[in-house]
């Protein structure tokens, strides 16, 4: 294929830095993998059985675009009980990432500005750019708290949306209720759409989860089953928000993803009733172990949720430290994949205990060795 066939849009995106690390892992004999952003447990058996039953019962064609009625109605009831909003619709999306794509398509016109907090989930800036929007980064270093004053300064007449992620990927930081209330109220006062990515809502370890939708009824919430139930490959997400926006996203889903995978929606319906508290407890224990082991040698902002930490490289920059780790078959992600800065790295503790202990040992060894001579 001739390169001139490619759209200008494709030329602005490189392969994800995370994907490059994954590709390296395939060439390693016994990698210490603390890179991957997915749970290390399998899908619960009840959810598997429900999906298998759906397949065997012939539920293998398209579902309605908005999602199967039993799942949608169950989630609609939960959302209504949680928030009590008169105008809040629900859409089953093809993963939370699919929900993000639909949200950007539904909200952003060329030239619109979207405020994104730095560090950010790797997909955010490319998605905004893909629909012709402009990313306005708000720096949150060094502690990764939500700087409401900086957000207010970043708002212009072109500001259309604020993209919030708490608990956060890559930092693991959980925004406080006071911070979320302030951002939610600011968005409401300025008539700006607040998009809340709540895919890690289950994993809050030190304080209860708080959604901006509790303050701002116009908030668009994106969540799903990928991280909570180990269903990353199933691609079943959930969007809920003002009915007009959910209806627009539904129309767009008709012409993009069509629907979330039909039989797997039945598995997700079964998953709604599965208690995942033991998983949250396990990841809190893993968080505590890694933080205790690394806290004296690495500068780490308090990771109150998700299953990530974002330590500052103890020497050199983030890329140099990660290169040294990769040379020792330790897979971590350089911070510049998630940020305009190159000072940190991301590790995921969604790994078995043996892998975590090997990773801790290697990180401490690398920190003590120091960086390359200049």
284-330 pLDDT, tens digit each: 999 999 999 999 999 999 999 999 999 999 999 999 999 999 999 99
Q: Tell me how far apart the terminal alpha carbons of the chain are, to the nearest angstrom.
A: 43
Alpha helices in the chain (DSSP H): 8-11, 17-25, 45-56, 69-83, 95-107, 124-130, 148-154, 177-189, 243-254, 262-271, 277-294, 318-327, 353-369
**Does residue 65 contact residue 259 with C-beta atoms inside 8 Å?**
yes
**Does residue 175 contact residue 145 with C-beta atoms inside 8 Å?**
yes
**DSSP 8-state secondary structure symbol assigned to residue 61:** S
pTM of the model: 0.94
Q: What is the percent of the chain where pLDDT is above 70?
A: 95
Q: If we measure between CA atoms, which residue out of 357, 359, 358, 337 comes closest to residue 347?
A: 359
* Distance (Å, whole) CA 173 – CA 101: 24
**Does residue 351 contact residue 40 with C-beta atoms inside 8 Å?**
yes
**Does residue 90 contact residue 246 with C-beta atoms inside 8 Å?**
yes
* Distance (Å, whole) CA 119 – CA 117: 6
* Distance (Å, whole) CA 341 – CA 317: 9
Which of helix, strand or coil describes residue 45?
A: helix
What CATH number labels 14-37+276-369? Answer: 3.90.1150.10
**Domain boundaries, given as residue ranges, for the chain:** 14-37+276-369, 45-271
**Does residue 187 contact residue 114 with C-beta atoms inside 8 Å?**
no
Which tens digit of pLDDT belongs to each residue from 29-69?
A: 789 999 988 999 999 999 999 999 999 999 999 999 999 99
* Distance (Å, whole) CA 344 – CA 108: 31
Pull the structure tokens for residue 231: 């269903």
Q: Which CATH class is domain 45-271?
A: alpha beta
Q: Write the CB contacts of 114 (distance below 8 Å, at least 6 apart in sequence).
A: 104, 108, 128, 133, 134, 135, 136, 159, 160, 161, 162, 163
pLDDT by position in tens, the chain (length 374): 577 888 888 877 776 556 666 666 667 678 999 998 899 999 999 999 999 999 999 999 999 999 999 999 999 999 999 999 999 999 999 999 999 999 999 999 999 999 999 999 999 999 999 999 999 999 999 999 999 999 999 999 999 999 999 999 999 999 999 999 999 999 999 999 999 999 999 999 999 999 999 999 999 999 999 999 999 999 999 999 999 999 999 999 999 999 999 999 999 999 999 999 999 999 999 999 999 999 999 999 999 999 999 999 999 999 999 999 999 999 999 999 999 999 999 999 999 999 999 999 999 999 998 766 44
């Amino acid at each position: 294929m001739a390169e001139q066939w490619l759209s200008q849009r494709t030329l602005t995106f490189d392969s994800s830095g995370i994907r490059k690390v994954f590709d390296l892992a395939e060439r390693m004999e016994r990698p210490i993998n603390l890179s991957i952003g997915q749970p290390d447990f399998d899908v619960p058996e009840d959810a598997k059985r429900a999906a298998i039953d759906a397949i065997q019962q012939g539920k293998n064609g398209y579902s309605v675009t908005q999602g199967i009625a039993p799942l949608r109605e169950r989630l609609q009831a939960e959302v209504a009980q949680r928030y009590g909003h008169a105008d809040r619709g629900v859409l089953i999306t093809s993963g939370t990432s699919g929900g993000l794509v639909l949200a950007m398509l539904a909200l952003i016109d060329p030239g619109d500005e979207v405020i994104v907090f730095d560090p950010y989930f790797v997909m955010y800036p490319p998605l905004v750019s893909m629909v012709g929007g402009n990313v306005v980064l708000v720096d949150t270093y060094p502690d990764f708290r939500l700087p409401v004053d900086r957000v207010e300064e970043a708002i212009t007449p072109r500001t259309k949306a604020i993209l919030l992620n708490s608990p956060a990927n890559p930092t693991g930081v959980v925004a406080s209720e006071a911070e979320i209330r302030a951002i939610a109220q600011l968005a409401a006062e300025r008539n700006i759409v607040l998009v809340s990515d709540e895919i890690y809502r289950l994993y809050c370890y030190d304080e209860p989860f708080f959604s901006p939708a509790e303050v701002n009824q116009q908030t668009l919430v994106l969540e799903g089953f990928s991280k909570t139930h180990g269903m990353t490959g199933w691609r079943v997400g959930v969007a809920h928000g003002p009915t007009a926006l959910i209806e627009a996203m539904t129309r767009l889903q008709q012409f993009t993803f069509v629907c979330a995978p039909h039989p797997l929606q039945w598995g997700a319906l079964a998953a709604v009733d599965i208690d995942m508290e033991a998983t949250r407890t396990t990841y809190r224990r893993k968080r505590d172990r890694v933080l205790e082991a690394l806290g004296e040698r690495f500068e780490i902002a308090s990771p109150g949720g998700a299953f990530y930490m974002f330590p500052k490289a103890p020497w050199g920059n983030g890329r140099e430290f990660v290169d040294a780790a990769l040379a020792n078959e330790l897979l971590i992600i350089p911070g510049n994949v998630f940020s305009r800065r190159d000072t940190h790295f991301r590790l995921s503790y969604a790994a078995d205990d043996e892998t975590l202990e090997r990773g801790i040992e290697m990180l401490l060894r690398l920190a003590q060795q120091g960086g390359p001579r200049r």
